[in-house]
Amino acid sequence: MMLFPFIIDPWNEDLSFSLIKSTFLIAFMGIIWILVLKGKLLQPKFKHEKVKIEYILIIFIALLTLSTIFSADIYTSVVGAWTRHEGYLTWLGYLSVFYFFYRVINYNDFSLERLMKNLFVVSAVISIYGILQHFDYDFISLIVPWESPTSSIAFFDNPNFYGTYLVLTMGIGMGLYLMASEKKPMLFYGIVLTLMTSVLLYTNTRSAWIGLAIVALFYTLTIVKQYKLWKKWVVLLLAMGIMAVGINASEGNRYLGKIFITLEESGDLLDEGLTGHEGSSRLIIWQKDLTILDDYFWIGSGVDTHAIIFPATSDELEEYFNNRTIMVDKAHNEYLQIAVTIGIPALLVYILLLFKVYRKAFQALKGANKQQKNIIFTLLAVITGYLVQAIFNISVVSVAPILWMFLGIVCGFSTKIHIKFTTKENNNY
């Protein structure tokens, strides 16, 4: 998962970022399942769960399967929409990543801190490319001619997707900074995070800015508050803030302008009501999708078939997107996307799975030591940041496996701590 962003095919612009990642994910997880089933590698689970994770996954897979069988376009549902490739097979890949990190990894022999450090370092390297890209130094264009993006995308096809990735990895970096007890690593994380603030702005993605703000708020209310780390935390936030102000000033207040536009839209919303243009026309997508929820309530329109069933006329597409033939292939809200394409029951099962992840984590905190608590809080912080930004963004194969990895780690790591804690308590009696 650390090197997953580097899996690209720059010689094929239309498929360079998504198809190759989707294919790799499916093939890799197929091999893993063969090894798991042959080697009986599953780790113990907590025996007294009333609602087992496995049951939730089976129900979700069943709903995915029904949605695919009765899809508006079965082929699209199996392989995914063009350039997105987030169909049935990719979803099985996501769930496999989750289950692998939940039940296969032995966390007694696996260093989560090393994994997080490596993931952050890889993200820092990618950020160098993202910064160069902003200044039109794009080495991929040296391999194959393509139009240079107006915002940094790195290896993620779209600045919004890169912004989502940065929410996850910069969030991890913040946790590592707070956990660092020695001056050198703390200085390293602080400097790199400050520099990465620039590329987060260069993505021009407001949902990512909100997501990272939520991550920071989560840390403030947990690790920082619990261990009185106010000084080092303020230093980091101040450094990142100064970088953001400097970058914004050097770009003619471009990024502050986007924030003002958002606030202005919110004010207009209160004064004049909905126009549909709010949120880069996300609002009209949400409004249209809500009108068809009843039609696709139980099993949705079919996995990844949003473009096929989106109920907009050519005139509406022209008015809101300046393109009469554009394919609106996602709801730009992950929860609404699941509801429309897979069904309301699938959305409820997904929310139940998220609830189980958080519940396991908070149960484990009772028996966790300081380092274990910090790891759990770090993972919960980035997951929470992702889930908030997902209200305005979409799930994509270039980023989603990392989220599912974190969800699986929280479940597996928390289960290990909980089993050890409850066993110790029982022995005391």
- Residue 134 pLDDT more than 60? yes
- Residue 51 pLDDT more than 70? no
Given phi > 0 = left and psi -120 to 50 = alpha, else beta, which region is 73? beta
- Residue 233 CB contacts under 8 Å (≥ 6 apart), including other chains: 178, 219, 220, 224
| Residue 344 amino acid letter | I
- pLDDT confidence of residue 359: 94
Question: The tokens 């997880």 sit on which residue?
Answer: 29
- Whether the CA torsion 292, 293, 296, 300 is positive or negative: it is positive
* Candidate ranges 14-23, 33-42, 337-346; pick with highest mean pLDDT: 337-346
> How far is residue 300's CA from residue 252's CA, in Å, rounded to a whole number?
45
Structure tokens belonging to residue 131: 């910064």
> How far is residue 259's CA from residue 204's CA, in Å, rounded to a whole number?
10
The angle formed by the CA atoms of residues 375, 412 and 371, to the nearest 5 degrees, is 20
Q: What percent of the chain has pLDDT over 70?
A: 87
pLDDT category at 429 given cuts 50, 70, 90 is: very low
Q: In this structure, what DSSP letter does residue 9 have?
A: -
- pLDDT confidence of residue 144: 47
Give per-residue pLDDT as tens, 61-100: 999 999 999 999 999 999 999 888 999 999 999 999 999 9
Question: The tokens 């930004």 sit on which residue?
Answer: 389
Q: Under a CB-based contact definition with an 8 Å cutoff, are residues 161 and 399 in contact? A: yes
> How far is residue 327's CA from residue 304's CA, in Å, rounded to a whole number?
12
End-to-end Cα separation, the chain, in angstroms: 42
Given phi > 0 = left and psi -120 to 50 = alpha, else beta, which region is 426? alpha
- Residue 366 CB contacts under 8 Å (≥ 6 apart), including other chains: 421
Structure tokens belonging to residue 78: 């199996």
- Residue 5 pLDDT more than 90? no
Give per-residue pLDDT as tens, 383-415: 999 999 999 999 999 999 999 999 999 999 998
- pLDDT confidence of residue 427: 52
- pLDDT confidence of residue 295: 95
> How far is residue 143's CA from residue 65's CA, in Å, rounded to a whole number?
40
Assign 3-class secondary structure to 117-133: HHHHHHHHHHHHHHHHH
pLDDT category at 153 given cuts 50, 70, 90 is: confident
Question: The tokens 């069988």 sit on which residue?
Answer: 69
**Residue among 347, 340, 344, 348 nearest 71 (CA):** 340
> How far is residue 367's CA from residue 221's CA, in Å, rounded to a whole number?
20
Structure tokens belonging to residue 77: 């549902």
- Residue 284 pLDDT more than 80? yes
What rounded mean pLDDT belongs to the chain? Answer: 88
| Number of Cβ within a 10 Å radius of residue 179 | 21
47 versus 317: the higher-pLDDT residue is 317
Average pLDDT of the residues in 214-223? 96
- pLDDT confidence of residue 59: 97
Average pLDDT of the residues in 159-168? 95
- pLDDT confidence of residue 268: 55
- pLDDT confidence of residue 212: 97
- pLDDT confidence of residue 259: 75
Give per-residue pLDDT as tens, 230-258: 999 999 999 999 999 999 999 888 888 77
| Number of Cβ within a 10 Å radius of residue 142 | 9
- Residue 424 pLDDT more than 80? no
How far CA 242 is from CA of 114, 139, 234, 257, in Å, comes to 30, 29, 12, 17
| Number of Cβ within a 10 Å radius of residue 356 | 18
Structure tokens belonging to residue 358: 């958080």
pLDDT category at 137 given cuts 50, 70, 90 is: confident
**Residue among 83, 77, 168, 82 nearest 119 (CA):** 168
Structure tokens belonging to residue 394: 């979409």
Measured N-to-C along each axis, helices 230-250 and 254-272 cross at an angle, to the nearest 10 degrees, of 90
- pLDDT confidence of residue 173: 98
Give per-residue pLDDT as tens, 186-205: 999 999 999 999 999 999 99
Q: In this structure, what DSSP letter does residue 156 have?
A: S
- pLDDT confidence of residue 262: 65
- pLDDT confidence of residue 145: 46
> How far is residue 171's CA from residue 215's CA, in Å, rounded to a whole number?
6
- Residue 185 pLDDT more than 70? yes
pLDDT category at 265 given cuts 50, 70, 90 is: low
248 versus 266: the higher-pLDDT residue is 248
40 versus 327: the higher-pLDDT residue is 327
| Residue 330 amino acid letter | K
Q: Coil, strand, or helix at residue 378?
A: helix
The angle formed by the CA atoms of residues 133, 135 and 141, to the nearest 5 degrees, is 45
- pLDDT confidence of residue 260: 67
